[in-house]
Amino acid sequence: MSTGPVPRVDPAWAWRPPRSGASVTLKLDANEGPVPDGDAVLGRLRETGPDVWRRYPDASALEAALASRFGLPDECVLVTAGADEAIDRCCRAYLAPGLALVMPDPTFEMLDRYAALAGAAVRRVPWRPGPFPRQGIMGALGEDTGIVAVVSPNNPTGEVATPDDLRAVASAAPNALVLLASWCCARSPRRADSPEAGSATPSAPRR
């Protein structure tokens, strides 16, 4: 019997922060904001008191407030440490060896990595500039589809999937999780004011 780390992911393929080489302080592509006002941050931390620094965070009050704001049961809201944690949790919950993630290509670069960590296969459908490849995605669905991932506005292209696209995919894959991610990148200059961008489903994972 072998011991040691499981070679589930090729180390050569491990994610590394992209290095653009450009001299910028606001890294929008890395979700990094401008340099914060250090004094203000430290002042706020002082006001909150030591319990906030030394205990594991409890997001239940925030989850309840969000649930009430959106008219959802509390158990339908989960606050995570970034969208990446939510995507990882969905992949662990809905994927396994023998199952597949279906996603457009290109799309958010971490999706296929989380699928690989869950031991699942990845099926890619080209998303050329233009509408969401609804027919291609539906053609790639199968019995083994655990998740269909839709990022809208898409990262890195800014292309948008419409609510009708989501409804069509969800009804074609009734047993799969339709994982809708984004709005962290909704400030795409070309698309942010489109009606689709304003009315798409919020980024919570949905069936």
Ligand X SMILES: Cc1ncc(COP(=O)(O)O)c(C=O)c1O
Q: Considering CB under 6 A, how many residues would be counted as binding ligand X?
A: 11
- Point out the residue whose Cβ comes nearest to ligand X: 82
Of the candidates 33, 197, 18, 28, the one whose C-alpha atom is nearest the C-alpha of residue 109 is 18
Of 134, 150, 155, 160, the one binding ligand X (CB under 6 A) is 155
The span of 7-15, 40-48, 49-57, 180-188 binding ligand X (CB under 6 A) equals 180-188
| Residue length of the chain | 207
Q: How far apart are CA 174 and CA 56, in angstroms?
A: 37
CB nearer to ligand X: give 185 or 200. 185
Q: Identify each DSSP E strand in the chain by its residue range.
A: 100-105, 121-126, 145-151, 177-181
The span of 64-72, 91-99, 115-123, 178-186 binding ligand X (CB under 6 A) equals 178-186
Of 33, 82, 139, 163, the one binding ligand X (CB under 6 A) is 82
Q: How far apart are CA 131 and CA 161, in angstroms?
A: 7
Could you say whether residue 169 binds ligand X (CB under 6 A)? no
C-alpha separations of 64 from 52, 70, 116 in Å: 19, 10, 33
The span of 69-77, 78-86, 137-145, 171-179 binding ligand X (CB under 6 A) equals 78-86
Of 18, 20, 24, 31, the one binding ligand X (CB under 6 A) is 31
Peptide bond into 129 cis (omega under 30): no
Could you say whether residue 83 binds ligand X (CB under 6 A)? yes
Contacts of 97 (CB under 8 A, 6+ apart): 119, 120
**Residues 106-125: x where in contact with ligand X by CB under 6 A, - otherwise, as a string:** --x-----------------
Residue entry with tokens 């994927």: 95
Chain residues in the site for ligand X (CB under 6 A): 31, 82-84, 108, 151, 155, 181-182, 184-185
